[in-house]
Amino acid sequence: MKLISILTLLFFINVNAKAQNINAANYKLLQKKEDSLKTLADKIINGINPSDRFKADSSFTKIFVRALKTNNSFYFPFDSLYSISKLYAPDSSFRIYTWQMVINENVIRQHGAIQMKTADGSLKLFPLIDKSDVTTDMSDTIADNFGWMGAVYYKIVLKKAAGKNFYTLLGFDQNNIRSEKKIIEILSFVNDKPVFGSRQFSIVSGYGYKGNMARFVMEFKKASSPKLNYDPELDLIIFEHLISETNQPNKKWTLIGDGDYEAFRWQEGRWVYINKIFNQVTPLGQAPVPSPLTDDKGKMIENKLKIEEP
C-alpha cells in the first residue's frame, strides 16, 4: 500500500509540475474545453450509429486542435479523455494522441496526431491519417504521417543508434469482426518530420517472419488477447507465440496465444529476434496444484484458514 501511495503521489507531482508551465487563464480555458471534449470522446466510442460517431469525431477533432493551440497545451494532461491514448515520448520531445472510431464491424479507423514540444509553447502538430485500408502490406510499408498505418498506442520505448533517437511504438488495432492486431513499429524524425516504419528488425529465416520487415504485425483471433509489451527489467519486447486453433496458420483469425514467448532485443541499432525466452519446463506430474482446504476425509484443515499477523 505504501508503494502504491508513493507512486500515486509521484504521478500527481509530475502532472502538477507540468501544469505549472501553463498560466492560470490558459489552464482554466483548457479545462473548459476538456469538458466538451470528454462528452464527444465518449460518443466516438459509444455513439448509437455511424453518423453519430462521425459527427462526434469531426467535432472532437476541431475542438481538440483549437485546444492544442492554447499556449503550452503540451503540458496539459487531458486526464478525463479516457478513450484517447496520450503518450509522452520518454525524452518529452513530443506527445502522441491516438484513438479509434468504429464505422462498422469490418471497418475500424484510427485517428491521431503528434504534438511536438516547442520552446515558446506554440503548437507544432502533425495529423496522423490512417491509410491502412488502402495498403497491401502493412509490414512492408514506410510512410510519413499522411500514410500512417493506424493504431492506438499504449507504449513508447526510446532507443538510440549512431547518435539518433528511435521511438518504438507498441499499438493495438481492433481491425475487423474476425481478428485484431498488435503492432511494433519504429517512429523516427527525418528533417524534423515523422516517419513511421523502419527496416530495423533482424530475424533469421525459419521462424515464419520476414527478415527485413519495416513493421512487426501480430494478427490474431478476435478477443483472444495474446500478450505483447515491453519489459523494462529484461529490456525486451516480449510477445506471445501464436498457433492456429484449426491447423490453418495462414488464416490469421484462427491464431491464439499458446503460452510460449518470443522477444526482440535492441542490439546495434536493430530489434533482434529471440525465438524463446523462457526455457524452464515443468517436469511431468509436477505441475503446481492448489493446496487443499480439507483432508482426505473431507474435514477442514483449520490452519489453512489462519491469517498470519503482520
Calculate mean pLDDT across residues 200-209.
88
Instruction: Supply 63's cell numbers.
Output: 475542438
Count of alpha carbons within 13 angstroms of residue 236, beta-carbon side: 16
Q: How far apart are CA 111 and CA 128, in angstroms?
A: 6
Reported as a single tens digit per residue, the pLDDT across 79-132 is: 999 999 999 999 999 999 999 999 888 889 999 999 999 999 999 999 999 999
Count CB-CB contacts under 10 A for residue 87.
Answer: 17
Q: Would you give the end-to-end CA distance of the chain in angstroms?
A: 13
Question: In the chain, which ranges are E strands?
Answer: 85-88, 94-104, 107-116, 125-129, 143-144, 152-161, 164-173, 179-190, 193-196, 201-202, 215-221, 228-231, 236-244, 255-267, 270-274
Q: What 3-state class would DSSP assign to 118?
A: coil
The label of the residue with cell 478476435 reads 222
Q: In this predicted structure, what is the pLDDT of residue 159?
A: 98
Which residue type, as a one-letter code, is found at position 39?
T
Q: In sequence order, which residues have a C-beta less than 8 Å from that of residue 67 and are 6 or more positions away?
A: 30, 33, 34, 37, 73, 76
Reported as a single tens digit per residue, the pLDDT across 45-93 is: 999 999 999 999 999 999 999 999 999 999 999 999 999 999 999 999 9
Please give the backbone phi and psi of residue 60, each rounded to the nearest 5 degrees, phi first: -60, -50
Q: In this predicted structure, what is the pLDDT of residue 54?
A: 94
Q: Is 150 left (phi over 0), alpha (psi -120 to 50) or beta?
A: left
Average pLDDT, the chain: 87
CA triple 16-22-27, angle to 5 deg: 85
Asked if residue 168 lies in contact with residue 157, where contact means CB atoms within 8 angstroms, the answer is yes
The label of the residue with cell 485484431 reads 180
Q: In sequence order, which residues have a C-beta less than 8 Å from that of residue 273 and are 6 or more positions away?
A: 201, 202, 203, 204, 207, 209, 262, 263, 264
Kindly list the domain boundaries of the chain, sorted by start residue. Answer: 1-83
Choice between 218 and 279, residue whose per-residue pLDDT is larger: 218
Beta bridge partners of 166: 159
Reported as a single tens digit per residue, the pLDDT across 266-290 is: 999 999 999 988 765 445 555 445 5
